[in-house]
Structure 1
Amino acid sequence: MADFILITGDQAMFNPTFGQAIVTVRPGNLIGTGKSKINQKLVCVDGDEKKVIVPGCPYMTPQYSIPGVGMLSIESLAGNQKAKNTKSGGKPVLLKGASFKAKFQVMVPAQQPSAPSPIPDATPQYSGTGTFMTMNMKVKGT
């Protein structure tokens, strides 16, 4: 099924719920490395999603009320987010698709107040989801 091709400047929008963790999310920007252009912007191809990193996102969990900080990234794409037929520079182009799997890596653990010292969150990473927002509303790939 045809869907819109992702281009440089499109955004990865992360959902704030990552399991037990509630993350203050910000969008991640896509930078295309394909050979083709849409609207004078390079198309995104397989592998470009790995470069989307959003550092410095605060988070909390029900158990840990002192916020921690971590980094958002795309863990894996859904099957409908990688073109089967449309390629650029020999690589499949990325499509808007449904939702991708996202990863939240804890850099500074959230903490639970406790005497004599706070108890840190022992979970190193949380899983969540996100979607792409594209400025390309003309060109589709399959």
Structure 2
Amino acid sequence: MHTVTCARINRAPIRSPSSWNSSTRPVPVVSLAVGGDTREAAPGDEFRLESDMRDFFIRTGDTLTVTIPGTIIPAAAAPVPLTGSSVKMKVEKMSVCLEGDELPQSLKVPLAYTAGPYTTPGQGALTLTLTPANKTSKTKCEGKYILIKGGDFTAKFDVSTPAQQPGSPPTSDPQLVKNGIAKFATTNTTSKAG
């Protein structure tokens, strides 16, 4: 077995599907850094990650959905595409997302929002808190844990400028911290890690 940057590789012939088990089933179309070279899996290569193969990798093109009840954040109203920062690990030719990639650049800036009767937009900042189920527990790539699908995790919107309810005088939104949930969606249905 050869040690590689993000996983381990067994060079063994691929067996028939009836002989596969959870530790020997090939993971299709994975690019790995071996030595200093990155290459795509070749026929006959067999992969086993350093973890228990728990959930699907998150990669470039997968999406983040944020739900803050009673609050409309136009920049996060539809699923937002993620961009993986890994240069050494790819799944189906797309960079894997590492810890820190969970909040896209478009959501790291002050965001406009409205809430219920407070229809004159205010501003705030979005933060996400991953659970252990949303990142690998042992496997690291480029010094960071790898994002995996997992379940819902915490989203928090901290208001810096409250939205206003029109009137004379206008009324400010009194809720300065808004809690919600976020989740990943992936089109990756083949490659997992834990």
The reply to whether TM is greater than 0.5 is yes
Equivalent of 2:119 in 58, 63, 66: 66
User: Within 5 Å, which residues of 2 pair with 1:53-132?
Assistant: 53-54=106-107, 56-61=111-116, 64-70=117-123, 73-106=126-159, 108-115=161-168, 117-132=169-184
Higher relative contact order (CA 8 A, sep 6+): 1
SS for the counterpart of 2:102 is helix
Structure 2 unaligned spans of 5+: 1-51
Relative to structure 2, which stretch is displaced further, 34-43 or 65-74? 65-74
Residue segments in structure 1 that go unaligned for 5+ positions in a row: none
Q: Secondary structure at the match of 2:64?
A: strand
**d(CA) in 1 for partners of 2:80 and 2:126?**
8
Q: 1:125 to 1:12 in 2, by over 3 A?
A: same
Give 1 or 2: higher strand fraction.
1
Task: State the distance in 2 between where 1:111 and 1:69 align.
Answer: 7
**Is 1:11 aligned to 2:60, yes or no?**
no
- Counterpart for residue 96 of structure 2: 43
Map of 2:26 onto structure 1: none
Q: Aligned residue for 1:135?
A: 187
Identity of aligned residues (%): 31
Residues 125, 160 of structure 2: 8 Å contact kept: no
Instruction: Select between 73-82 and 5-14 the one with higher mean Cα deviation.
Output: 73-82
Q: Secondary structure at the match of 2:133?
A: helix
Q: Post-superposition shift, 1:26?
A: 2.6
Using the alignment, how far apart are the partners of 1:70 and 1:140 within structure 2? 37
For 1:22, give the aligned amino acid.
T
Note if 1:22 corresponds to 2:77: no
- SS of the equivalent of 1:80 reads helix
Q: How many residues align?
A: 136
**RMSD in angstroms over aligned alpha carbons?**
2.4
- Larger CA Rg, structure 1 vs 2: 2
TM-score, length of structure 1 as denominator length: 0.79
In 2: Cα distance, 1:96 partner to 1:74 partner: 18
